[in-house]
Amino acid sequence: MIVTVTMNPSIDLAYFIEHFKLGRMNRFDSPTKSIGGKEINTGRTAALSGSDVRLTGFLAGDVGELVERYLQAENLFTLDMLDTSGETRNAITIMHDNHTHTEIVESGPEISDEEVYHLLAKLKNIYQQENLKVICISGSINSKNEQIYFRNAYVYS
């Protein structure tokens, strides 16, 4: 089994327009929607390659519920996400002007040290109970603690 941890998943919206006019109204066709986050994408790749994958991390609010529904519909992995306060983020990409892209990315819910510690305890439990081969953790995290990965990396080693 492979566990991937996405600390700050998103709904990714991609809009396409020939010319983007800053400071003006821009009309778009419906965006392309997908669920993003580095380790969600890693989990997809591993699952499509035949691995047993469990996704974990944090989801929040109405957007988090939508992310969860979309991931369940993919039917590729086991979902084991933790709830947090706030709102899961949206990430908007505007493709324009000869393949230029502009990104508008929300911060996402703020994750506390205590929540990370709880997640690490969960990972330790999974490790002890399952035939766990790999844990992948990467990507952004919205935290006041700039060293959150470093400070928690050795809690269970």
What was the pLDDT predicted at 43? 96
Share of the chain above pLDDT 70, in %: 92
The highest-level CATH class for domain 2-19+30-150 is alpha beta
The stretch 25-44 carries a mean pLDDT of 94
What was the pLDDT predicted at 131? 78
Cα(87)–Cα(67) distance, integer angstroms = 11
Cα(64)–Cα(87) distance, integer angstroms = 7
Could you tell me which residue, 117 or 61, shows the higher pLDDT?
61
Name the helix (H) or strand (E) containing 113.
helix 113-129
Cα(13)–Cα(153) distance, integer angstroms = 32
Residue 75 has pLDDT above 80, yes or no: yes
**pLDDT-derived band of residue 148, with 50, 70 and 90 as boundaries?**
low
- Average pLDDT, rounded, for the chain: 91
Cα(28)–Cα(41) distance, integer angstroms = 26
Judge contact between 63 and 90, C-beta under 8 A: yes
pTM of the predicted structure, to 2 decimals = 0.88
3-state secondary structure (DSSP) of residue 69:
helix
User: Taking the CB of residue 139, how many other CB atoms lie within 10 A of it?
Assistant: 20
Judge contact between 145 and 151, C-beta under 8 A: yes
Residue 151 has pLDDT above 60, yes or no: no
Domain extents in the chain: 2-19+30-150
Phi, psi of 14 (to 5 degrees): -115, 125
Name the helix (H) or strand (E) containing 13.
strand 10-16
The stretch 42-58 carries a mean pLDDT of 96
Residue 146 has pLDDT above 80, yes or no: no
The stretch 94-119 carries a mean pLDDT of 94
Residues 6+ apart with CB under 8 A from 66: 11
Judge contact between 17 and 94, C-beta under 8 A: yes
**pLDDT-derived band of residue 48, with 50, 70 and 90 as boundaries?**
very high
Cα(145)–Cα(115) distance, integer angstroms = 12
